[in-house]
Amino acid sequence: MAYVKEISTIGRVEACLLSPHREKGLEKSPTDALTLTFDGIQGDCHSGATMVSDARTMKQYPRGITLKNRRQVSIVSVEEMADIADKLAIPSLPPEWVGANLLVSGIPDLTILPPSTRMMFSSGATLIIDLENQPCKYPAEIIENHHPGHGSAFVAMAKNKRGLVAWVEREGKIASGDTIRLFLPPQRLWNH
């Protein structure tokens, strides 16, 4: 068995986004390119080698514990954002509204890529998928502000389509138009 399997699907970066200030909310702004360091995206509010435990980790740790930051980059797909928008009966769901750093295309069922999948960009930069980014109330509030009466359904409609969070394995730049190769680790189900 090979250690990793390269998937022939080649994805593409459609947009890069960042937000230097977390206190201004979830929304990100488009930018020409992202510079990845081992701490995450240079200039983004989610960068850093560590993070503090929160609601997402409360089953494992009390709030306020310092942990390795494996949520440095948020990734969504054109196809899944369009599907969610269709289910919400809104014209589109911009990646800015869900706090994404990368909007990609051409990777079927992006959100269900397995943990430890490598996303290798044509620049050489590499991300390691950590987990699915679960739908939450914050994008729902933004959607509600733009389309009153439609945001409350976001959490249900975005299930298994909200995208992924990842961390930087290899530094480099990512820009719109870059291609993406996927390398998946062998998958076996732990059935206990």
How does pLDDT run across 162-177, given as a tens digit for each residue?
Answer: 999 999 999 999 999 9
- Most confident stretch, 23-32, 40-49, 60-69, 145-154: 145-154
- Output the six-digit token pair for 140: 């729902």
For residue 6, how many other CB atoms are within 10 A of its CB?
12
Residue 155 · residue 137 · CB < 8 Å:
yes
Considering only CA atoms, which of 46, 157, 71, 165 is closest in space to residue 111?
165
Residue 138 · residue 108 · CB < 8 Å:
no
pLDDT per residue over 61-101, tens digit each? 778 888 888 889 999 999 999 999 999 999 999 999 999 99
Task: Collect all residues with Cβ–Cβ distance below 8 Å to 8 and sequence separation of at least 6.
Answer: none
Class of domain 5-184: mainly beta
Fill in the DSSP letter of residue 110. G
Q: Is the pLDDT of residue 188 over 90?
A: no
For residue 191, how many other CB atoms are within 10 A of its CB?
4
pLDDT per residue over 112-160, tens digit each? 999 999 999 999 999 999 999 988 888 999 999 999 999 999 999 999 9
- Output the six-digit token pair for 115: 């943990």
Residue 33 · residue 41 · CB < 8 Å:
no
Domain boundaries, the chain: 5-184
Q: Is the pLDDT of residue 24 over 80?
A: no
* pTM of the full structure: 0.89
Which range has the worst mean pLDDT, 15-19, 63-67, 95-99, 187-191? 187-191
Task: Tell me what the mean pLDDT of segment 46-51 comes to.
Answer: 86
- Output the six-digit token pair for 67: 């942990």
Could you give the CA distance from residue 84 to residue 153 in angstroms, rounded to a whole number?
A: 10
Could you give the CA distance from residue 192 to residue 189 in angstroms, rounded to a whole number?
A: 9
Q: What is the mean pLDDT of the chain?
A: 90
